[in-house]
């Protein structure tokens, strides 16, 4: 889940990464509602690729079965090649989103109030500005 919206702020990194991973509509659902999803919904939406009671053990089995016999050096370059365009898009968007967050959102009453109320463990008083 991305509960930041309930504090009158948003999650900059998730705003850039989620649309890439699960599509715009599903990402907006999570980012705008602040709701959390369980493992099965995360799997069906494409947020995760696998669900397992022991994810660490599952990851190690996958590594041993599919990756361990490959050259680590070549895997590193293969990852860079496969993710290059994605990485460039996300970095560029993240720079714009961080500017929006810091230069505009944090100038609003509600963003400051939401974070202050959270720290003070009290209900926020929204003014919708």
Which tens digit of pLDDT belongs to each residue from 79-90? 999 999 999 999
* Rounded distance between C-alpha atoms, residue 4 and residue 32, angstroms: 9
How far is the C-alpha of 19 from the C-alpha of 113, rounded, in Å? 28
* Tens-place pLDDT, residues 48-68: 999 999 999 999 999 999 999
- Cβ atoms of 37 and 27 within 8 Å: the answer is no
Asked if 21 and 126 touch (Cβ cutoff 8 Å), the reply is no
pLDDT digits (tens, 9 = 90+) for 96-113: 999 999 999 999 999 999
CB-based burial of residue 36 (10 Å sphere; 0-12 exposed, 13-18 middle, 19+ buried)?
exposed
What pTM does this model have?
0.84
Distance between CA atoms of residues 80 and 64, nearest Å: 21
């Amino acid at each position: 889940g991305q509960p930041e919206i309930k504090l009158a702020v948003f999650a900059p990194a998730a705003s850039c990464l989620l649309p890439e991973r699960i599509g715009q509509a599903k990402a907006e659902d999570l980012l705008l509602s602040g709701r959390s999803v369980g493992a099965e919904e995360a799997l069906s939406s494409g947020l995760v690729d696998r669900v397992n009671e022991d994810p660490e053990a599952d990851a190690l089995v996958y590594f041993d079965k599919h990756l361990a016999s490959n050259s680590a050096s070549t895997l590193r370059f293969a990852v860079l090649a496969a993710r290059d365009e994605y990485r460039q898009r996300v970095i560029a968007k993240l720079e714009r989103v961080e500017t929006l967050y810091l230069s505009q959102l944090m100038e609003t009453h509600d963003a400051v109030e939401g974070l202050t109320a959270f720290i003070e463990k009290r209900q926020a008083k929204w003014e919708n500005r």
